């Protein structure tokens, strides 16, 4: 590993990036692969987690000043750089596809026609330009309500988690949630951690592919 203290400059040098890429292990690759797919890379941009990883590696290795270069700041850990760059890459790809009139994959998205018949795919990461329109369309189907209720039900016996979720639903900042729910910093983190663990267990494939049956 290259020590940041050994080098100066805001961005990693090319040889430092190369070494970090070569040092990537199975666990890092698996986490990133999964994170891209949970963000809907396949449904929205037709890119598997492996495709996105490859595109990020290419961008990281592209020299400064060349097309496709994405600078890597020293204060960004590898996972953060890969998540941010990967998301940006498949957002761009998704926008390109939207402009070309290519519809998102809908194969295994929803199997409950009475809820999602008019809008079979719930794309919670729809491109910015069309986000409002997509959100309005989806809201009209009641899908969001159904999904939100499902999440709240998961925590019906956990009042702290319910208060946290209500705060998030009301789009409150951390400090407001802490005050509203009378949390300490530590309790806030514990509640957050409990919610993360539970939603991961309940929705291991994320919310881009909804399973409203179970």
Partner 1 sequence: MTISFLRTINEMIIDAIMDADSKDIKSKIGTQGFPTESEIDNVKANIAAAVQHARKERLAEKRVAFESYKRSLIDRSHESASQLRSVPEMLSDIVTALNNSASVPKGTLVAFREQGEGGNDEDIRKIWLDLVDLGLVDPDAPK
Binding residues for partner 1, per CB under 8 A? Answer: 14, 18, 21-22, 24, 26-27, 29-31, 33-35, 37-39, 49-50, 53-54, 57-58, 61, 63, 79, 83, 122, 124-125, 131, 134-135, 138-139, 144-145, 147-148, 151, 168-169, 171, 192, 195-197, 199-200, 203-208
Sign, CA torsion 62/67/68/71: positive
Smallest separation, CB 157 to partner 1 (Å): 18
| Nearest CB to partner 1, comparing residues 100 and 186 | 186
Supply angle C-alpha 135, 138, 142, rounded to 5.
130
Reference 116, options 132, 149, 139; nearest CA is: 139
Smallest separation, CB 195 to partner 1 (Å): 6
Sign, CA torsion 110/113/118/124: negative
Q: How far is CA 150 from the centre of its chain?
A: 20
| Nearest CB to partner 1, comparing residues 100 and 190 | 190
The two tokens of residue 87 are 């998301």
| Nearest CB to partner 1, comparing residues 5 and 213 | 213
| Nearest CB to partner 1, comparing residues 30 and 99 | 30
């Amino acid at each position: 590993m290259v020590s940041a203290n050994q080098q100066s400059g805001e961005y990693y040098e090319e040889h430092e990036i190369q070494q970090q890429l070569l040092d990537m292990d199975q666990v890092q690759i698996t986490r990133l692969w999964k994170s891209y797919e949970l963000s809907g890379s396949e449904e929205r941009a037709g890119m598997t987690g492996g495709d996105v990883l490859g595109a990020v590696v290419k961008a990281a290795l592209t020299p400064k000043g060349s097309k496709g270069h994405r600078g890597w700041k020293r204060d960004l850990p590898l996972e953060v750089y890969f998540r941010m760059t990967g998301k940006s890459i498949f957002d761009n790809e998704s926008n390109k596809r939207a402009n070309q009139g290519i519809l998102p994959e809908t194969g295994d998205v929803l199997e409950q026609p009475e809820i999602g018949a008019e809008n079979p795919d719930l794309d919670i990461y729809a491109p910015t330009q069309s986000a409002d329109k997509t959100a309005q369309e989806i809201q009209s189907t009641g899908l969001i309500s159904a999904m939100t209720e499902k999440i709240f039900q998961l925590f019906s016996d956990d009042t702290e988690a319910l208060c946290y979720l209500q705060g998030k639903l009301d789009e409150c900042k951390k400090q407001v949630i802490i005050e509203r729910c009378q949390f300490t910093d530590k309790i806030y983190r514990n509640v957050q951690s409990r919610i993360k663990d539970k939603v991961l267990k309940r929705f291991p494939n994320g919310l881009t592919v909804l399973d409203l049956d179970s």
